[in-house]
Structure 1
């Protein structure tokens, strides 16, 4: 049996500490030892949830993408509609808007849901945050292992067959790439917005974050790189498009969005 450890960051980094340790002779760790959500005020106000990837690999939890209603091609749009669509024995631990979408709430970047490609990989040039290259893809294989790859890196993996996404969502720009902040971010920028994103961070955790105050791209990326110790992180969206569902911290944004990404658990 795994040796389960609930990791935490120093309170100075703005993430609550909760150390717990279960040896092979102890009872099986609870779901709460694998994931948690919290609010922080440092280095700026933000809300976050993290989950240990072991909980996804052993089937205790599942990371899924959602877009349309089961019975129609109509977008779900809201966290309420998503929750209502789940089986009675499942619950939504937390969720966030996924990759960027158009006026019809359809994804503009690479999207895969349960192995079916909804939208092909978008490697085009263009304007807006999505095309502030390099951009990237959050994806997981059928076994539940989660990756964040720069889009051209993923293309090479798709071409040689080393990547077989079961779920995937493309957005941009990348925030952190191999431990370095996106090279086009300006530390002195004055462009501040509410922003949300996801990172693969220390101790094999997935970290989901939405700023609760307007921040620059550089500040947001710096949070992932330095405070949360993420080697790779991806911007999902910003402004009125940022949406977060985390009932354990009483967060339930009532917004409409395209594809959503969430962690599902047994009731």
Structure 2
């Protein structure tokens, strides 16, 4: 862009000589370039989640800006382009997949969550209007939201639910049975007890993220040590089990030839900072499910959320919405303000 500032085209400066308003040239070009990069990301659907993608987006943005300026377009034209393509691009976070088993894959990158001006956020939901209530209200007699329809109705109009999924296991009252934190408020303490059922097929783990939206999956015993040493401060957290993949290894108790096959869903923190949510639409055993996270999604750590009749997914990108009661829900929110 330095060539434009050193040898400006008078047409690009509204026919005003450079020596009259030199201080405005570079800010204008920088602002326009920012908008051109935004337009490229909107049109292409590319995510700035790798160095190669970021370089490609910026180069394409510079090329787009050059072409628009040479054709006499203004920044207002760029604004209109961004708005129109944003409306038509329908950037998807969830997609239907046929292999290695029928499933829906929903993805969000760490980068997209951690950008300072990002409209996206992962959140946990349990009871109505949790943003407006005091800490004690989370443990009050108010009933859970139960369903995706109730969650959708509960959200402010300025927020869009991009997808949602059940967030771990719950009891008969639809209260969580494992460690749960919502907006920094602990709902239930860490559960390190032994017992029956999938939750206690140890090791189990915790999906959590801090106030900086750094998403992690940590085995429960290790998580306990981090908590006790005050090394972490979860903003959201949900404990479930079993772990599917632990430090690049499939759970040691999974049997590749197991005949126990069910609908299952889970989450992994994976290659290139992608957080991957998988909901199977056909029965699979634990080994098959974990192997997909390890071998194809390249997740060093992955966690089972639930299965069978408790597996629930809301994915408008694929026109999928389960009508089931559940406890805590996890959703990707886009703030439209």
Give TM-score scaled by structure 1 length: 0.89
Task: Give 2:96's aligned residue.
Answer: 39
Which has the larger strand fraction? 1
Task: Give 1:182's aligned residue.
Answer: 251
Structure showing greater radius of gyration is 2
- SS of 1:213 mapped into structure 2: coil
- SS of 1:22 mapped into structure 2: helix
CA contact (8 A) 2:124 2:328 kept: yes
Structure 2 residue 258 is the aligned partner of structure 1 residue 199: no
Structure 1 CA distance for aligned equivalents of residues 287 and 280 of structure 2: 13
Displacement of 1:26: 2.6
CA contact (8 A) 1:100 1:107 kept: yes
Task: Give 1:22's aligned residue.
Answer: 57
User: Where does 1:162-177 land on structure 2 (aligned, <5 Å)?
Assistant: 162-177=231-246
- SS of 1:229 mapped into structure 2: coil
CA contact (8 A) 1:245 1:251 kept: yes
CA contact (8 A) 1:92 1:263 kept: yes
User: Where does 1:1-267 land on structure 2 (aligned, <5 Å)?
Assistant: 6=47, 21-23=56-58, 26=61, 36-58=93-115, 59-70=118-129, 73-267=142-336
Displacement of 1:56: 1.0
Distance 1:148 1:35, change over 3 A: farther
Structure 2 CA distance for aligned equivalents of residues 255 and 188 of structure 1: 30
Distance 1:211 1:134, change over 3 A: same
Distance 1:210 1:7, change over 3 A: farther
Distance 1:69 1:56, change over 3 A: same
Distance 1:35 1:155, change over 3 A: farther
**Which sections of structure 2, spanning at least 5 residues, go unmatched?**
1-33, 63-81, 134-140
- SS of 1:26 mapped into structure 2: helix
Distance 1:257 1:21, change over 3 A: farther
CA contact (8 A) 1:37 1:48 kept: yes
Distance 1:157 1:240, change over 3 A: same
Which stretch has the larger CA shift, 108-117 or 56-65?
56-65
Displacement of 1:22: 1.0
Which stretch has the larger CA shift, 25-34 or 250-259?
25-34
Displacement of 1:128: 0.2
Structure 1 CA distance for aligned equivalents of residues 58 and 164 of structure 2: 30
Displacement of 1:236: 0.2
CA contact (8 A) 1:6 1:34 kept: no
Distance 1:99 1:151, change over 3 A: same
- SS of 1:92 mapped into structure 2: strand
- SS of 2:61 mapped into structure 1: coil
Higher relative contact order (CA 8 A, sep 6+): 1
CA contact (8 A) 1:115 1:165 kept: yes
- SS of 1:104 mapped into structure 2: coil
After superposition, the CA RMSD in angstroms is: 2.7
**Which sections of structure 1, spanning at least 5 residues, go unmatched?**
9-17
Give TM-score scaled by structure 2 length: 0.71
Moved over 3 A (4+): 1-8, 27-35
Task: Give 2:3's aligned residue.
Answer: none
